Amino acid sequence: MSEQTTATDKATQESLISIHRWTDKLLTFRTTRSADYRFTPGQFARLGLLINGEMVWRAYSITSAEAEDQLEYYAIVVPGGLFTSALNQLQPGDPVWVEKLSYGFMTPDRFADGEDFWMLATGTGLGPYISILQQREVWQQFRHLILVHCVRHEEELTYQEKFETLRAEAAAQNLPAQLQLIRMTTRDDGAAQPDRLQGRITSALREGRLERAAGLAITTASSRLMVCGNPDMITEVREILKERGLGPCRRAGGGQFITEDYW
Ligand SMILES: Cc1cc2nc3c(=O)[nH]c(=O)nc-3n(C[C@H](O)[C@H](O)[C@H](O)COP(=O)(O)OP(=O)(O)OC[C@H]3O[C@@H](n4cnc5c(N)ncnc54)[C@H](O)[C@@H]3O)c2cc1C
C-alpha cells in the first residue's frame, strides 16, 4: 500500500503524542484522535506522513481501545522502508494524517457463533488483537480466547504485561472467557519456558502442538480464527485450515476464519 496522495478532506491532521520503543525496530506510537473518528476494534487506519514534500500513506492496525481519546499503533521499522524510516524519526507534536474512514474486516462480530476464538499473529500482526481484547464484548462472546504470538526473538514478545492486565481485569469482573497466551519464537530456544513454543505457527498447527498447548481442538463447530501478519504464514494457515474443513468468513455469513495480510 503505497499510493501517493495529498492530504485533503479524506484525512484529518493529527499529531504524534508519544513513541515507546520496545526494541530498536519495534515501536508503539500514539496520535491525537479527531472527536468524530470511529473504528471497530480489529480495524486499521490509513496514516499519512509528509515525506520529501509528498504524502505517503500506509495501513496500521489500531491497537487502542474503541473509547480512548487517543489512537495507538504498533509498528516495525522496515530497513530502508520509506514510511517507517520517517516514522522512526518523528518527535512528539509532529503531524500525522489519519484517513477519516477506518477499514478492515478483522472484527469479532463477524463470527455469529463458536466457543473458542483463536488469534494468530506474527510480529506486529499482533496489532488488531490488542484492541479487540480491550473490548468487553469479546470476553462475553467466547469461552476461550487463545492468543498466539510468533516472533523471531524473545525481546519481540511485546505487550505481555498488557495482556496479563486484561486477563486479571476480566477475571475481576467475572467475564466468562479465559485468555490463554501462547508465545512462540523461531530463533530463540524457548524450551525452558512452559508457555513458550519453538518454531513457526504453521508447523505447530500441522503438528497439533498449538492445540495441545491450548488444550483445545480446532474444529468447525467450536473454533473461530483470525490470522494476521506475514502473508506466507497466512497462505499456509489457510491451506491447513481448509484441509481440516474450515472455511473463510464470507459477507453472506458462515465460515470460521478471517485473515489479514500486512504486505
Ligand atoms: C491492512 C494492513 C495493516 C497493517 N498494519 C500494520 C501494523 O499494524 N503494523 C505494522 O508494522 N505494519 C502494518 N502494516 C504494514 C505497513 O502498512 C507498511 O507496509 C510497513 O510499515 C512498511 O512501510 P515502509 O514504507 O516503511 O516499507 P516498504 O518500502 O513499503 O516495505 C515493504 C516491505 O517491508 C516488509 N514489511 C512491511 N510490513 C511489515 C511488517 N509489519 N512486518 C514485517 N515486515 C514488513 C515487507 O517485506 C514488505 O514488502 C499493515 C499493512 C496492511 C496492508
- Strand-pair partners of 121: 149, 228
Ranges of residues in the chain with a pLDDT under 50 are: 1-5
Going from the Cα of 12 to the center of ligand 1, the distance in angstroms, rounded, reads 22
Beta strands in the chain (DSSP E): 11-21, 26-32, 44-51, 54-61, 70-76, 95-99, 116-122, 144-151, 178-185, 196-198, 223-229, 257-261
- Domain interval for residue 227: 108-261
Confidence at residue 5, expressed as pLDDT on a 0 to 100 scale: 44
One domain, residues 147 and 189:
yes
What's the confidence (pLDDT) of residue 262?
Answer: 98
**144 and 219 co-located in one domain:** yes
- Name the residue with the closest Cα to ligand 1, atom 35: 78
Q: What is the pTM of this model?
A: 0.96
Residue 231 belongs to some domain of the structure: yes
φ, ψ of residue 104 in degrees (nearest 5): 110, 155
Q: Is residue 4 part of a domain?
A: no
Which of 39, 73, 99 finishes a domain?
Answer: 99
What integer pLDDT is reported at residue 8 of this predicted model? 62
Please indicate, yes or no, whether residues 95 and 112 belong to a single structural domain of this protein: no
Domain membership flag for residue 6? no
Residues 115 and 224 in one domain: yes
User: Where residue 123 sits, what CATH number does that domain have?
Assistant: 3.40.50.80
The domain total for the chain is 2
Query: Are residue 163 and residue 254 in the same domain, yes or no?
Result: yes
Cell of 74: 504498533
The reply to whether ligand 1 has any atom less than 6 angstroms from the CB of 1 is yes
Asked if 175 and 237 sit in the same domain, the reply is: yes
CA of 229, closest atom in ligand 1 = 41
Q: Is 262 in the pocket of ligand 1 (CB under 6 A)?
A: yes
Ligand 1 centroid to Cα of residue 86, in Å, is: 13
